[in-house]
Amino acid sequence: MNKEGWNVCYTEYMRFLKGGELTLSTLVVFNVIILVSVIIFGASLYLFSKLDVIRQSEQNQTQVSIQQRQIQVLQDNVTSLRKELGVQQNTATQEVTTLTQKLDQTQAQQQANATQTQQQLSALSAAAAKTYDTSAIVAEWRPRIAYVECDWTDNTGAVYQTESGSGVITQQTNGNPAVVTSAHLVVDPSGVPTSGCRVHVPDDPATTTVNVSQISRSSAGYDWARLDLSNTDQHLVTLAAQKFSVCATTPPIGTNIVIIGYPGIGTRNDITATEGIISGYDSDFFITSAKVERGNSGGAAIALQKDCYLGIPTFADVGSLESLARVLSAQFIFPTH
């Protein structure tokens, strides 16, 4: 419908509104206009509906694409996590294997240590249970325990002082026999050395004389001296050649010992033995409860459990109840014996 047709319709419509009558042509035009309007309106609704469907479809496609990308990302993450978990699992498995091996090795070492400790305890128990015969040990050491007597003379040769003590027959590096004794036996409290000594051992009627040139003292200042017996009889040479055991380690407190020598209250013809224990330590000395008299100085202290030479009895400190003697460690006398 052109512009003129619309104008005619409009004119007729206005006339109708003013009370006029509609012609047939006008009515037809109205019906056509209404029909066209309905068609246009329906088409518009259809088009709008299609547009909505298209937009909704595009939105759905977009959402699907987004979800697909999210799913792909999640799948990639899952794949990455699986790989990482696989690596971690392999690492964990290797660590568990390594730890298990270390644990097995540690347990094996602990078992070996426990076995070794048990063996050592068994050995110690066996050693502790081992019995010894004190009389047999004393009899073993008796022949080499010497009675030593030293004189001090004035300018006229007259003896003005005599001291006695004990000693142990040993062998020098040159093969000659010698006596190890206390240094204070050959030097008086004023520092005056003896003029000479005499040495006698049990089971030998001979007495060996030692002059001052045959006497030497510890160069380190320890209380021991050596008397050279180079001009002695075959009995002492044979005794000196017989090696004896020197205690290689420090015995613990409570170790049973025996002191062998010639105390002043004993006899000059044979040894006297007194038993005791190691009561403690005092610098280079063992402290012992065994009785030690003045004449015991220079004799032998024997550790009974191992039957070894412990050192030289030197002196005793007298307390309010009883005395405790000192024994100079053999390691300062025979460091390489």
Residue pair 260/275 in contact (Cβ under 8 Å)? The answer is no
Residue pair 325/288 in contact (Cβ under 8 Å)? The answer is yes
What's the rounded mean pLDDT across residues 296-305?
A: 91
Residue 303 clears pLDDT 80, i.e. is over it = yes
What DSSP designation does 188 have? -
Q: CA 104, CA 109: separation in Å to the nearest integer?
A: 9
Q: How confident is the model at residue 276 (pLDDT cuts 50, 70, 90)?
A: very high
Q: How confident is the model at residue 239 (pLDDT cuts 50, 70, 90)?
A: very high
Q: How confident is the model at residue 182 (pLDDT cuts 50, 70, 90)?
A: very high
294, 274, 327, 313: which is closest to 163 by C-alpha?
294
What's the rounded mean pLDDT across residues 277-297?
A: 87
For the chain, which domains are there? 3-63 (no CATH), 142-241 (2.40.10.10), 245-332 (2.40.10.10)
Predicted local distance difference test score (pLDDT) of residue 19: 53
Report which of residues 270 and 211 the model is more confident about.
Answer: 211
What's the rounded mean pLDDT across residues 229-242?
A: 90
For residue 139, what is the enclosing H or E element?
A: helix 134-141
**Tokens in use for 140?**
């073993």
282, 268, 266: which is closest to 314 by C-alpha?
282
Considering the chain, what percentage of its residues have pLDDT values greater than 90?
A: 40
Q: CA 253, CA 162: separation in Å to the nearest integer?
A: 36
The whole-chain average pLDDT of the chain stands at 82
Chain centroid to Cα 192, Å, comes to 52
What's the rounded mean pLDDT across residues 166-190?
A: 92
**Tokens in use for 215?**
């006497």
Residue 145 clears pLDDT 60, i.e. is over it = yes
Predicted local distance difference test score (pLDDT) of residue 321: 44
| 246 backbone dihedrals φ, ψ, rounded to 5° | -105, 135
Predicted local distance difference test score (pLDDT) of residue 134: 92
Q: How confident is the model at residue 194 (pLDDT cuts 50, 70, 90)?
A: very high
Report which of residues 4 and 132 the model is more confident about.
Answer: 132
What's the rounded mean pLDDT across residues 314-328?
A: 67
Residue 307 clears pLDDT 60, i.e. is over it = yes
pTM for the full model? 0.60
Residue pair 146/200 in contact (Cβ under 8 Å)? The answer is yes
Tokens 């309106």 belong to which residue? 41
What's the rounded mean pLDDT across residues 299-307?
A: 94
Q: CA 315, CA 256: separation in Å to the nearest integer?
A: 19
- What 3-state DSSP class applies to 25? helix
**pLDDT tens column, 205-224:** 899 999 999 999 998 889 99
Residue pair 246/256 in contact (Cβ under 8 Å)? The answer is no
Find the range with the poorest average confidence among 126-140, 165-179, 184-198: 126-140
Q: How confident is the model at residue 283 (pLDDT cuts 50, 70, 90)?
A: confident
What's the rounded mean pLDDT across residues 64-74?
A: 80
